[in-house]
Chain A
Amino acid sequence: MMAMPDAIYGGHSGVTSSDKPLEYRDPNQSVKILGFWLFLATDMLLFGCLFATYLVVRTHTDGGPTARSIFDIPGFTLETFFLLTSSFTGGLSTLAMRNGNKKALVSWFAVTIALGLAFIGLEVHEFIGDVASGATWERSAFLSAFFTLVGTHGSHVTVGLVWMFLTLLQVAKRGITPITARKVFVVNLYWHFLDVVWVFIFTVVYLSGRVM
């Protein structure tokens, strides 16, 4: 091992200290984690605007399908369960990463991906059902907003799945290094974030739609 070269920045020149969680130890990686948190903050605003739009046109059904008429309780209950659980298993993969347990990490990733796929499958199924019954997003402002909000979340989840899979490959190939550790941590941050968004979707869209 050669001497640590000067980092590209001055800050904490290449000091790795081991009282921090693994993903934060290399300053090159810890700055990326900060960057990702900032990204999450903007993504949150993105969803905030979609929620705002949904709330404003929620009742604008133009005589077409209403929230009450299209939401299917068992469907979104199951979706919720899958996603909450996948957030948990995602968390366990972070734990495995921090413990340096590559095998557990890969397995928990696989479980998480499977749960995510199940979630997406259900959502696609729900959407297909809606469209088949005439509830398309061209039908009314309410449906435009509904499909866009839920669909944006769904496409985020899809991106997350691809990304998690890519990360899994890298961990499998390279083991747990500061770089892969950071990647594992970040993809999980994203995943938990999507879980929070889903909590708001089922609260604001599905549950409120049932009662209002």
Chain B
Amino acid sequence: MAVHGGVTREPGHKKHKATQYIVGYLSSLILTAIAFGLALTHTMRVGPLIVVLTILAGLQIVVQLYFFMHITEGDGPPFHALFLILGLIFTFAIALMSVWIMGFPAFMAQVS
């Protein structure tokens, strides 16, 4: 691959700032702290707690994707974002539906 001159210096291009990264880092720390705090201090009942923890983890995905992984940038249509979202849906589908199926939840319902 021929290396084109000039690209390394980026003449006249606006300088990227660290702000975005700092905001991302702080938000991930805060989200983590909340999660740890809630889980380790027994302030909530287990059911709702799990839901809250999952939501916090979901927000962390957004933080990493947006602030660090630059999901919104790219070249051409955002196919990568499309596939990532589809993948996320499938991932959650597998995990949650496996629990649903394998928990034999209707095992009880069968009887009553």
Residues of A whose CB lies within 8 Å of any CB of B are 1-2, 4-5, 12, 16, 18, 20-22, 24-28, 30, 33-34, 37-38, 40-42, 44-45, 47-49, 51-53, 55-56, 73, 77, 80, 84-85, 87-88, 90-92, 94-95, 98-100, 175-179, 181, 188-189, 192-193, 195-196, 199-200, 202-204, 207-208, 210-212
Contact = CB atoms under 8 A, between A and B. Distances in A.
Contact of B21 (A12, A91, A99, A202): A91
Overall SS of chain A's interface: helix
Given A42-B87, A55-B99, A208-B39, 19 more contacts: A1-B5, A33-B80, A55-B95, A80-B36, A84-B32, A87-B25, A91-B68, A177-B3, A179-B1, A196-B61, A199-B32, A199-B61, A202-B32, A203-B35, A204-B57, A207-B35, A208-B53, A212-B46, A212-B50
Interface of B: 1-5, 7-10, 13, 15-18, 21, 24-25, 28-29, 32, 35-36, 39-40, 42, 46, 49-50, 53-54, 56-57, 60-61, 64-65, 67-70, 73-76, 79-80, 83-84, 86-88, 90-92, 94-95, 98-99, 102-103
B4 A16 contact: yes
A33 B75 CA distance: 10
B4 A21 contact: no
Contact of B42 (A38, A41, A211): A211
A196 B60 contact: yes
Contacts of A195: 28, 64, 68
B99 A192 contact: no
A203 B10 CA distance: 41
Nearest to B73: A21
Given A176-B8, A195-B64, A87 B92 contact: no
Contacts of B4: 1, 4, 16, 26, 178
Contact of A51 (B49, B79, B95): B95
Overall SS of chain B's interface: helix
B10 A100 contact: yes
A26 B25 CA distance: 29
A24 B75 contact: yes
A178 B32 contact: no
B72 to A, nearest CB: 11
A211 B46 contact: yes
Contact of B2 (A2, A95, A188): A2
